[in-house]
Structure 1
Amino acid sequence: MRNIFQKNSALFLNTCKKMYKMFKNNAEVKFQEEIGMTKIAFIAPYPELAILARKVCGEKYSDVAVFYGLLENGLVCAQKALNEGFQVIISRGGTANLIRNHIGIPVVEVRVTGYDILRTFSEFIGTNKTIGVVGYRNVVEGCRSVSQMLGIPLREMLTLNNERPDWEVMRAQLQMQLEKAPVDVVVGDALVVSKLRLEVREVRLIMSGDEAVCEAIEEARRIIKVQDKEKKSAEQLRTILSFIHDGVIAIDNTGKITVINPSAESIFKLKTTQVIGKNIKQVIPNTRMLDVLKHGKAEIEQLQNTPSGMVVTNRVPIEINGEIMGVVATFKEAGRIQQTEQKIRTKLYSQGLYAKYSFENIMAWDPEMLRVIERAKRYARTDGTVLIEAESGCGKELFAQSIHQASSRCRGPFVAINCSALPTQLLESELFGYVEGAFTGARKEGKPGLIELAHGGTLFLDEIGDMELTLQARLLRVLEERQVMRLGADKWLPVDIRIVAATNVPLKQRVLRGQFRMDLFHRLNVLSLSIPPLRLRRKDIIPLAEYFLAEFANKYGQRPIELTAAAKDILLQYSWPGNVRELRNIMERISLVYEEAQDVSAILRDFLDNSDYCNNPGYSAPELAKTGMPAVKPEQFLLPQNIRNMKRQLAVYALATCGGNKSKAAKQLGITRATLDRLLRQQE
């Protein structure tokens, strides 16, 4: 019996050797021919599978190269394939496991299917032969299911694991089992035949069929498709990171560096090849990326010292399905930030879209004016719409620019337009812009409006009360929706702007007269700011006059002019209908014409008699008319009786604006209540 077993095994092995030699010679020729065209290496652990795979590939898959190699021979073949640039290897059973453990590319296993086992077991149906199975778990379990289904006796002799086995020990164990409980046929894969050499009557190799080979090749193709996609994405990312001026470093969930771009190399004086895979703390000791990895909270715009100096860094956790998988950090050199900011400012300056003044430029000593400035500073800390109400010459745009400079939008544009300075159609095109062919005379390429140009900054609408109702409706849409549409366009553009509006006319009265939309008024009047006129800020008049005289003395290279007591009295008695603008103009004139030993008060009186605000007979300047003060001729303006009348009119006006409250009126005028009563009792 032993001789029969040995003869049977020897015959099978000789057949395999002949087929292997024949196939090997053929494969050696084909190897060099096919490696340039293919990405998949099919390494068959037994000759029949190699022949089948070559047949299938010849019919369907020209991108697969087929080779024969069992275990160590298969591993050698796989190493050659790796060196030649193959992307995926296909093999079966123990050979596939061995290659997977030693080669760093994907390995697809030709699975032993139910059809393969069924084909092997079908010839034993009705023979009463006892079948023994040796193989890996999936093979043993598959044989068990098929044998139960077909009613064929099965003995599970040995289940292999993925560890490298000691074949001689296994052979001895199996031989002992066979002597105690013989079987008629041993079923398994190529390892059973080539390594165990069991002394049994029959040995059957479970051979894979066409469907298993095709399934493995399709799986390999899917892997290559994913690899190619990932490779393209990685190349795109590499290109992007290479050209980003900011430094970028990423770590995984263990703190090891996975990505570092050239800018980060330059900032930290590192080399990618030296730091990839190292713990971030070893490379950058003062980093907080591990802290972000731990608590999962982003850290934005943080300062960090580096070998290249101070940088601004952002650290953000990489979160996938609720799990922190790593952290990415960006680094921007402080000098580069300053350069970028300077370029932006230069561009805005070239377009005139910048704010020149800040709160430091507003000169004030009067308590009421100081309170207004403090309120404006609080408004600057918000992003709400501001409505400034003041007479002409009070510095409405100065306040608007200061609010912009003190806000979070200070780096954005400041765009100003006077709504009363342009005709309605021109104002509309300036505000909203237009597309090509919107109207006759329009630019061929179109033009962005001031609202668009103010994106990210502040839009200052001066003299908003003079805007036509049709334009008011369009402006309301901008305020409500934060969108703008150019003239002639059909698409809305989102805009991020803050609006500061100003008026020198009472908007409430205009609303009551139907000259201003009530809904727009309420949209504008979110944060209201009322700047008192100069005549109600008596403590500001003399300091401002002296400040302007010093400014112009420096400008024209002169000695500062000192105001006499008489000149100060004249300044305090004058009503300043042109407010600070008029005061500044008068001080500049005095600086230009004053000569040593001249009477400053005489020059001042002469200038005030001929002021731009009093150059019409009957004096009907709109700014003064709004105060309710009487109209007088210029030559009568500083006569004592008229000054007394003006004081009384101021007292009456203040009392009216304060709702009849004498204490508030006296405080507004900067006088005592007794003085107010005396002024009210005077006869005109």
Structure 2
Amino acid sequence: MVHVRREDILFILPSEPIAATINNIFSLIDERFLVHEANLEDAVSLAQSYIDQGQAMVVVSNGGTAALLKQRLKTHVLELRYTSVDMLRAVRRAFDLADKVAVMGFEPFTYNAKALKDFFERPVLVETITDLADLTEKLQHLMARGIKAFVGGSPVVNAARMLGAYGVHIDMDPRVIQDAIEEGKRIVSLQKEKDLRLGTINALLNSINDGIIGIDASGCISEINRIGLELLGLQRQDVVGRDIRQVLGVPWESCIQAVENEQTAEVCLIGGNSLAVTSVPIRVNGHSSGAVLTLQEVRRILSLERRVRKRVRDSGHIAKSTFADVVGRSEPLEKAKKKAFTYAQSDSTVLIYGKTGTGKELFAQSIHNASARADSPFVAVNCAALPENLLESELFGYVRGAFTGASESGKMGLFEMAHGGSIFLDEISEMPLPLQCRLLRVLQEKEVSRVGDDKVTPVDVRIIAATNRNLAEEVQNGRFREDLYYRLAVLILELPPLVERLGDIGLLARVILHRKSKEQHKPMPRLDPRAMALLESISWPGNVRQLANVLERAMVIATNGVLSEEVMADSLRSCHPYGQFCPGSAPISIAHSEDSTASLDAVEERALRAVLRQCGGNRKESALRLGIGRATLWRKMKKFGLI
């Protein structure tokens, strides 16, 4: 709350009784402000002296003195006005003293008296004065006409009494003074709050490494920060109030366009320095009232961009793949690519459905690289690969001492690392329910809180989630939050399995073989047409990932640089836990009935147990033998109760 000091409000009164009333009110409200008796020019000089000392934020007066103070002072002036009842009471007291009464004073005072003439019991003469130097002469003139009692302020009353006439002060209603005190305090508080905001804004502007210039509706500079002056090589007094085009030294109409509601950006050569100048209009109640210009050194922008790009590359949080890396020309794949590219132009959350090995992360990276966030981080995390407590600290970070083993300096979470970019949450269906609640908050509030901390950090992150499960069914089974599902399922992308795009296998095989050959430093093998026909007859439950593993095994088995039908069949027989393939037999297909699904699960579990037993429980080696990722192995072990 803003504190109002004694010297913030100054009462300057031309009437002694009003000053006495004010002091009495001060004693009642237990507050006290400055009070002086002065008239006209003396009042102006007195008030200005206080203002020059940084005091008297509000001046309170009445009558002609108040009117003069309003004209001459550049501060708030409150005028105390007599009520009609005050005037009537004073005139009545004057008639108790004499038969003929006059009301004298400056214009504001006598204006009210003239309006009340019809309410006086007897005729009253109202005389307006403009200069105290003529006061005595006017009093004598009226006394010669038989006026014996005069109603007015202290100058009139004192002069009348010195001439032998009656002088009657008009008393002011204490409520008028109390209202003025409260209004004065309110004005002081508002002004101090305004000064505080302006001080804060100026401090912020001067702490920014860019030049900031404010221009009014006519294109003249109203404000400029320290960096702006340095970039222009000018002093403040040489800038404020001047036309922006004159200061920039170029016939630049973009500034005026900004005032007219158009955001603009230009590069100007000012004083031999290349500056990027951005203009943004200032809107007040829907109308343009000026613009804000930002000046940045082009070389600093380029340097900063290079540092940011290097930092992102060094962190490893970059998306390497684009839509050009999505191999295939089949209709289902082309439809998926077209839809994904459309999604990339938006900033909404994307939910990717696809079976294992269909390229969910490939599409996620491509969407990121085709979006406006392409130059920002791309952070990928597999929600099924980490236990709940570790996944929480990885996603949201933690503060020092948050848990046993926590880093002394704390750790930034993946959401904070992805600020300005995208975060890919793979296997989102495996995220534990407590973490789903925290993820929902990130989506709703755009902020994160580290583990062990009560502070929140705003984040600007686009979420791309992926799953191989039906999330709607997971919601019905109570394994996934319904509110989170609806937050994620804004833009839905379904990736076709390889069995629906068998025509792409030839192109995929060539690309995979080329890559594997480079990795193994071997010549690229030739793929026999019958071996290709064999590949195109498989239902590929492991999709492209399984195809890549089969081709890699075939390259190892082949001895003459040719992937024949026999070599391919041998490689396919190793496709555990999906069963064996024998040349001439029917293709292996994914089971569709509940019984066959159960049988497939049983086969898969037996195969998993056998490989783990053969590898002595070594998960890395087991995953390699099975041709699956470690995260997938961990999820399958969890599914069958092996961990």
TM-score by length of 2: 0.65
1:457-507 deviation line (CA, Å, top 9, x unaligned): 44434466xx65x8379659957993699999999999854233154xx86
Equivalent position of 2:318 in the other structure: 354
1:106-132 deviation line (CA, Å, top 9, x unaligned): 344454456764664344335662223
Match of 2:574 among 619, 631, 644: 619
Q: Contact 1:175–1:199 at 8 Å: present in 2 too? A: no
Match of 2:432 among 464, 471, 478: 471
1:65-122 deviation line (CA, Å, top 9, x unaligned): 6364x44444444444444444244544334433432333334445445676466434
Superposition deviation, residue 528 in structure 1? 0.8
Partner Cα separation in structure 1 for residue 26 and residue 391 of structure 2: 76
Does residue 202 of structure 1 match 2:165?
Answer: yes
Equivalent position of 1:11 in the other structure: none
Equivalent position of 1:64 in the other structure: 34
Equivalent position of 1:669 in the other structure: none
Equivalent position of 2:284 in the other structure: 319
Partner Cα separation in structure 2 for residue 588 and residue 310 of structure 1: 58
Equivalent position of 2:352 in the other structure: 387
Superposition deviation, residue 174 in structure 1? 9.4
CA RMSD of aligned residues (A): 5.8
Q: Contact 2:333–2:495 at 8 Å: present in 1 too? A: no
Equivalent position of 2:560 in the other structure: 602
What secondary structure sits across from 2:498 in the alignment?
Answer: coil
Q: 1:583 to 1:334 in 2, by over 3 A?
A: farther
Q: Contact 2:322–2:369 at 8 Å: present in 1 too? A: yes
What secondary structure sits across from 1:357 in the alignment?
Answer: coil
What secondary structure sits across from 1:240 in the alignment?
Answer: helix
Partner Cα separation in structure 2 for residue 156 and residue 508 of structure 1: 89
Partner Cα separation in structure 2 for residue 337 and residue 142 of structure 1: 67
Equivalent position of 1:537 in the other structure: 504
What are the within-5 Å matches in structure 2 for residues 217-296 of structure 1? 223-252=187-216, 256-280=220-244, 283=247, 286=252, 288=254, 290-291=256-257, 293-294=259-260
Equivalent position of 2:629 in the other structure: none
Superposition deviation, residue 510 in structure 1? 9.8
Equivalent position of 1:305 in the other structure: 267
Match of 2:123 among 149, 153, 173: 153
Does residue 482 of structure 1 match 2:482?
Answer: no
Match of 2:535 among 562, 572, 575: 575
Partner Cα separation in structure 1 for residue 404 and residue 40 of structure 2: 84
What secondary structure sits across from 2:371 in the alignment?
Answer: coil
Deviates more, 1:399-408 or 1:485-494: 485-494
Equivalent position of 1:18 in the other structure: none
Match of 1:526 among 489, 492, 514: 492
- State the one-letter code of the partner of 1:204: G
1:594-643 deviation line (CA, Å, top 9, x unaligned): xxxxxx9813449x9778x9569x534357x6xxxx613xxxxxxxxx3x
Equivalent position of 1:94 in the other structure: 64
Superposition deviation, residue 540 in structure 1? 1.5
Match of 1:402 among 349, 361, 366: 366
Q: 1:620 to 1:61 in 2, by over 3 A?
A: closer
Q: Mind listing any 5+ residue stretches in structure 1 that lack a counterpart?
A: 1-35, 591-599, 633-641, 654-684
Superposition deviation, residue 377 in structure 1? 1.9
Q: 1:311 to 1:423 in 2, by over 3 A?
A: same
How many aligned residue pairs are there?
561
Q: 1:346 to 1:589 in 2, by over 3 A?
A: farther
Q: 1:73 to 1:482 in 2, by over 3 A?
A: closer
Q: Contact 2:97–2:149 at 8 Å: present in 1 too? A: no
Equivalent position of 1:664 in the other structure: none
Deviates more, 1:473-482 or 1:398-407: 473-482
What secondary structure sits across from 2:206 in the alignment?
Answer: helix
Q: 1:602 to 1:494 in 2, by over 3 A?
A: same
Partner Cα separation in structure 2 for residue 367 and residue 454 of structure 1: 34
Q: Contact 2:433–2:481 at 8 Å: present in 1 too? A: no
Superposition deviation, residue 134 in structure 1? 3.2
Superposition deviation, residue 261 in structure 1? 1.9
- State the one-letter code of the partner of 2:350: T
Q: Mind listing any 5+ residue stretches in structure 2 that lack a counterpart?
A: 591-643
What secondary structure sits across from 1:602 in the alignment?
Answer: coil
Q: Contact 1:355–1:405 at 8 Å: present in 2 too? A: yes
Partner Cα separation in structure 2 for residue 368 and residue 139 of structure 1: 89
Specify the structure having the higher radius of gyration (Cα).
1
Partner Cα separation in structure 2 for residue 312 and residue 609 of structure 1: 68
Superposition deviation, residue 154 in structure 1? 0.4
Q: 1:602 to 1:502 in 2, by over 3 A?
A: farther
% identity of equivalent residues: 26
What secondary structure sits across from 2:561 in the alignment?
Answer: helix
What secondary structure sits across from 1:317 in the alignment?
Answer: strand
Q: Contact 2:94–2:168 at 8 Å: present in 1 too? A: no
TM-score by length of 1: 0.61
What secondary structure sits across from 1:124 in the alignment?
Answer: helix
Deviates more, 1:75-84 or 1:53-62: 53-62
Q: Contact 1:549–1:561 at 8 Å: present in 2 too? A: no
What secondary structure sits across from 1:273 in the alignment?
Answer: helix
- State the one-letter code of the partner of 2:102: G
What are the within-5 Å matches in structure 2 for residues 440-455 of structure 1? none
Deviates more, 1:259-268 or 1:396-405: 259-268
Partner Cα separation in structure 1 for residue 546 and residue 202 of structure 2: 63
What are the within-5 Å matches in structure 2 for residues 168-187 of structure 1? 183-187=147-151
Equivalent position of 2:603 in the other structure: none
Q: 1:328 to 1:420 in 2, by over 3 A?
A: closer
What secondary structure sits across from 2:581 in the alignment?
Answer: coil
Partner Cα separation in structure 2 for residue 432 and residue 347 of structure 1: 20
Superposition deviation, residue 405 in structure 1? 1.6
